[in-house]
């Protein structure tokens, strides 16, 4: 199967069957089907088509009969071909059209003429992203939604959180490839030592600007055998983690010797960061509802030498009387809608509805109240998400502050990160102290 056809298969799995793009891509690449060039093309088509789906569908309307229902296979073939014609400039247009028509012939033969006609009509009257005229729209948010393929309700959330000045620039970054950050494992070496050692492997880095434990990799392709193939990675000298996620553990500021609970721990990135901040002294209970995901925490802790991590499988909303007033510090990295990591999981923008978002908020609230029961008087709870929805973030915390008289927001208040912060993902975090 060639990369274009495999890309269509993946897009169908994601858009029609609800599969996650990162898991589908990992499954495909594990079969070693492609040359390096074909792998890059496959990835480019999948991510680019997902990222620009609303924009591509709007362009498609200009070349098809209004209201015509298009077969799902044919629609993904057209979307992926339009993406290549509109966004990529190294592929000859005739090759894109011929491959799309041939692919349609194998999957939906009766639609070959339709696909050919639509794509050739586009070539006669091409529409390019650079030609998008924001000034032709009366509503700025609608224009941003269409151009960057961000559903309008999400655009409103970004404006609410980041403001009218910053939101448009942040939205324009959400289809970019995120930078690669790595967290130095200070249990084994310091930042400069790792930077020097990576340079010896041919990997150039620079310090991150938000976390003292962060290095930003200049070019991920410099890892000759992939990140997991690096001897330094295998030795546990570093792990991959967004710089904004690093700031979450640092906000909790756990101290050596403390007893800490990570309530939703998998896959373990923040858990192992807590261990290194504690200098591997004390106790960290890493709890998660899924046993198979806790295996990831165990593996990460073993590789990084985080010996104080103890995993426990359990529902974080269930009451454990022995845990009441037990923990010096608690991290609640709550399940959320994920609107801050759209760059990494582009299909997130199209998923969910009001009912599912309400269900997420109910789980968050149950976890937050339970975390408060488990926190010692004088202790600190950090509540964090990777979304930019205030209903899931500060409004949840405000409800806790209103309900519990002994809850006090820390001096830093509510914090959001964004791509404007050295390329970070969109994280929310705040600290809440429990009065003695």
Q: What is the CATH number of domain 180-240?
A: 3.30.70.1170
Q: How distant is the alpha carbon of residue 355 from its chain centre? A: 22
Percentage of the chain surpassing pLDDT 70?
100
DSSP state of 29: H
Residues of the chain with CATH 1.10.940.10: 3-131
Run of H or E residues at 215: strand 214-217
Strands 180-184 and 407-409, bridge-based pairing: unpaired
pLDDT digits (tens, 9 = 90+) for 304-343: 999 999 999 999 999 999 999 999 999 999 999 999 999 9
By the 8 A CB rule, do 22 and 344 touch?
yes
Q: Quote the pLDDT of residue 106.
A: 94
pLDDT digits (tens, 9 = 90+) for 49-101: 999 999 999 999 999 976 678 999 999 999 999 999 999 988 899 999 999 99
pLDDT digits (tens, 9 = 90+) for 160-191: 999 999 999 999 999 999 999 999 999 999 99
CA dist., res. 43 & res. 159, Å (int): 30
CA dist., res. 272 & res. 237, Å (int): 12
By the 8 A CB rule, do 64 and 37 touch?
no
Model confidence, pTM: 0.94
| Residues β-bridged to residue 182 | 215, 240
Which one is catalytic: 214, 264, 336, 386? 386
Q: Quote the pLDDT of residue 67.
A: 64
- Flag the least confident range among 46-50, 312-316, 352-356: 352-356
By the 8 A CB rule, do 248 and 333 touch?
yes
Residues of the chain with CATH 3.30.70.1170: 180-240
CA dist., res. 9 & res. 6, Å (int): 5
Query: Is a pLDDT exceeding 90 seen at residue 1?
Result: no
Could you tell me the end-to-end alpha-carbon distance of the chain, in angstroms, rounded to an integer? 64
Q: Is 386 a catalytic residue?
A: yes
Taking 3-state DSSP, the helix, strand and coil percentages for the chain, each rounded to the nearest 5, stand at 50, 15, 35
Decide: helix, strand or coil at residue 309: strand
Instruction: Tell which CATH architecture fits domain 244-434.
Output: 3-Layer(aba) Sandwich (3.40)
Residues of the chain with CATH 3.40.50.150: 244-434
CA dist., res. 386 & res. 345, Å (int): 12
So what CATH class is 3-131? Answer: mainly alpha
| 36-51 helix and 21-29 helix, angle to the nearest 10 degrees | 170
Q: Quote the pLDDT of residue 90.
A: 87
Q: Quote the pLDDT of residue 191.
A: 96
């Amino acid at each position: 199967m060639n990369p274009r056809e495999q890309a269509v298969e993946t897009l169908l799995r994601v858009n029609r069957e609800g599969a996650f793009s990162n898991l589908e891509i990992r499954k495909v690449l594990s079969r070693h089907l492609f040359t390096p060039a074909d792998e890059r093309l496959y990835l480019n088509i999948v991510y680019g088509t997902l990222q620009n789906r609303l924009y591509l569908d709007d362009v498609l309307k200009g070349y098809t009969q209004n209201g015509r229902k298009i077969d799902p296979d044919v629609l993904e073939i057209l979307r992926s071909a339009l993406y290549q014609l509109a966004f990529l400039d190294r592929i000859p247009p005739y090759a894109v059209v011929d491959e799309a028509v041939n692919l349609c012939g194998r999957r939906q033969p009766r639609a070959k003429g339709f696909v050919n006609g639509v794509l050739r009509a586009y070539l006669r009257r091409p529409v390019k992203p650079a030609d998008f005229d924001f000034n032709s729209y009366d509503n700025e948010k609608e224009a941003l939604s269409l151009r960057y393929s961000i559903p309008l309700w999400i655009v409103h959330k970004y404006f609410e959180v980041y403001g009218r000045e910053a939101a448009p620039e942040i939205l324009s970054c959400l289809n970019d490839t995120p930078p690669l950050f790595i967290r130095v494992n200070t249990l084994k070496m310091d930042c400069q030592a790792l930077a020097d050692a990576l340079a010896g492997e041919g990997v150039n880095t620079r310090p991150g600007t938000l976390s003292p434990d962060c290095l930003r990799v200049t070019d991920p392709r410099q890892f000759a055998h992939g990140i997991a193939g690096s001897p330094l990675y295998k030795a546990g000298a570093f792990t991959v983690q967004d710089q904004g996620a690093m700031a979450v553990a640092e906000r909790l500021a756990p101290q050596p010797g403390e007893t800490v609970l990570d309530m939703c721990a998998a896959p373990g990135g923040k858990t192992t960061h807590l261990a290194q901040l504690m200098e591997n002294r004390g106790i960290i209970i890493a709890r998660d509802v899924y046993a198979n995901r806790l295996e990831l925490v165990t593996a990460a802790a073993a590789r990084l030498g985080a010996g104080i991590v103890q995993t426990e499988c359990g529902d974080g909303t269930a009451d454990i009387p022995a845990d009441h007033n037990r923990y010096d510090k608690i991290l609640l990295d709550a399940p959320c809608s994920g609107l801050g990591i759209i760059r990494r999981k582009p299909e997130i923008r199209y998923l969910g509805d009001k009912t599912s978002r309400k269900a997420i908020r109910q789980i968050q609230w149950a976890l937050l109240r339970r975390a408060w029961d488990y926190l010692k008087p004088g202790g600190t709870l950090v509540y964090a998400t990777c979304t930019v929805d205030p209903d899931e973030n500060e409004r949840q915390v405000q409800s806790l502050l209103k309900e519990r008289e002994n809850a006090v927001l820390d001096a830093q208040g509510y914090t959001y990160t964004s791509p404007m912060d050295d390329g970070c993902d969109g994280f929310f975090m705040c600290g809440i102290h429990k009065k003695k």
